[in-house]
Amino acid sequence: MPKLNVTHLVGRIQDRIEQLERGDALEARDINALLTKQQQQSLKEAWNRQQALRKIHKPPKTKEQASKIGWKTIREVRLEIYKQALQEAQDGVGDEIEKLLHQSEVKAARIFLDAYFNAKEGTDKWSAGNIALRRNGFNRIDGQSYGYNSKRDREVNEMEDSLRQRMEDDLSAEEKEQLELSREYEKAVAKRRK
């Protein structure tokens, strides 16, 4: 099974936190799957502290008593550790994404150069490199892109456009104004990006 990268990890940790807050029963392997070794160790240590507290004190009858002595359920301990893990994952997102982009660029360069230097005699080496890039899902070096639309794709696009136009015709005046504002905003954003 492939290792989760940070782009998936944050969303999965958030889902797990929501499950714990709802009170869903989770198995230990599901809990530990998204945590690092250090986080798993801190979870064990926190639960061991709670078990030691249970040997010393009787179960509290109110929430105030529980907070006063530091009494927590296993779910609360897990939630605490998961929230820390979420914070750590969110803090490292930028660095991890840069690392993934660098790895992707290195992989694309390796694919291009392998195809370039292994091209047969009489073959355009530049084209061979670009073909290898496209075959592996990367953009060409020269930035050109070629798309293929079948007859069915064109028909579906036309149908979607006509449905979109009909829905816009059925909008109220306020909704049309909001749609126009949204389009102007998107144009302004696109213009700034250029």
Does residue 142 belong to any structural domain of this protein? no
Domain membership flag for residue 143: no
Question: Which residues have a Cβ under 8 Å from the Cβ of 172 and sit 6 or more positions away?
Answer: none
50/54 Cα distance (integer angstroms): 6
pLDDT for the residue numbered 54: 78
Length of the chain: 194
Kindly report the backbone phi and psi dihedral angles of residue 159, in degrees, each rounded to the nearest multiple of 5, phi listed first: -65, -45
The parent domain of residue 125 ranges over 105-135
Q: For residues 60 and 73, is the Cβ–Cβ distance under 8 A?
A: no
Sign of CA dihedral 131, 135, 136, 137: positive
Query: What is the model's pLDDT at position 1?
Result: 53
Residues 28 and 86 in one domain: yes
For residues 76 and 125, state if they share a domain: no
What digits encode the pLDDT tens for the residues 70-112? Answer: 778 788 888 888 899 888 888 888 888 899 899 999 999 999 9
- What pLDDT score does 2 carry? 65
Provide the mean pLDDT of the chain.
86
Number of domains observed in the structure of the chain: 3
